[in-house]
Amino acid sequence: MATRLREPAFTSSLSTSNCDTDDEGVRGTCEDASLCKRFAVSIGYWHDPYIQHFVRLSKERKAPEINRGYFARVHGVSQLIKAFLRKTECHCQILNLGAGMDTTFWRLKDEDLLPSKYFEVDFPMIVTRKLHNIKLPTLLITECVLVYMTPEQSANLLKWAASSFETAMFINYEQVNMGDRFGQIMIENLRRRQCDLAGVETCKSLESQKERLLSNGWETVSAVDMMELYSRLPRAEVNRIESLEFLDEMELLEQLMQHYCLCWATKGGSELGLKEITC
């Protein structure tokens, strides 16, 4: 590569266990998501000069509905992250659980929006003891992570986070409305790749997503499906990305987006206005 990235000032924690062969399908989704993001960036959906250093450019062209779905995902998560950072004036920390090849750290640095601390982890239980006593305003992020845990495991994680941090926000992106035929097809496709969604029963609806957070210690919760979020995107940006390539099956995009959602929950931080954050 033409330039080298400097060693980042953030902490990354990885599991080195050799007994995780059952997780191969889950880890494979990280590669799939990274390749999709890399392709979307390469044709102009959003600007990310760092992903090229971590992810190869696939020769396979991704479908327009996939590219637009990732655009909405990246835009929505980024908007919530920046809103939290501005509310806290960056006097906070971020925990990105199951971060994979995510480049948020460097993109925030470019915009002078780095928090006091930034952690990336793949298996969150490894670092729980280290984080237990941290009381700064804390943002936790999971993108397609909780769905691979059993409902009991994800509930324990959410409960731990709510009890460990006095002032916090939790952002979760994952599947929703999985009880219909389209959802069943998604589950079957992943199962063929030996990738079971252990927590899919919590992904029945926006209400079930919100209830999981509320029942595990979080005080306020909001949730939208990605089609709703897509409709809220700045019109100029939507017009720009829709002009990049032709999509002849808008119905497929709508079906796909209606089966993913963005949820965010807060605890404490009333003086910071955390409850006012929206996307």
Amino acid at 147: V
> Quick check: is 109 in a domain?
yes
Angle between helix axes 64-87 and 24-42 (nearest 10 degrees) is 90
> Quick check: is 6 in a domain?
no
Range of the domain at 228: 21-276
> Quick check: is 52 in a domain?
yes
> Quick check: is 75 in a domain?
yes
Q: Is 98 annotated as a binding residue?
A: yes
What is the tally of structural domains in the chain?
A: 1
Nearest to 174 by CA among 193, 198, 192, 191: 198
Per-residue pLDDT of the chain (279 residues; tens, 9 = 90+): 333 333 344 454 444 444 455 566 766 777 888 899 999 999 999 999 999 987 889 888 999 999 999 999 999 999 999 999 999 999 999 999 888 788 899 899 999 999 999 988 864 433 443 445 446 899 999 999 999 999 999 999 999 999 988 899 999 999 999 999 999 999 999 999 989 999 999 999 999 999 999 999 999 999 999 999 999 999 999 999 999 999 988 999 999 999 999 999 999 999 899 999 998
Nearest to 162 by CA among 218, 85, 109, 214: 218
> Quick check: is 251 in a domain?
yes
Angle between helix axes 250-257 and 64-87 (nearest 10 degrees) is 40
> Quick check: is 88 in a domain?
yes
Q: Is the dihedral of CA 233, 234, 240, 242 positive or negative?
A: positive
Q: Is 89 annotated as a binding residue?
A: no
Q: What pLDDT sits at residue 15?
A: 45
> Quick check: is 123 in a domain?
yes
Q: What pLDDT sits at residue 95?
A: 92
> Quick check: is 3 in a domain?
no
Q: What pLDDT sits at residue 44?
A: 96
Q: What pLDDT sits at residue 20?
A: 55
Q: Is 73 annotated as a binding residue?
A: yes
* CATH number of the structural domain spanning residue 61: 3.40.50.150
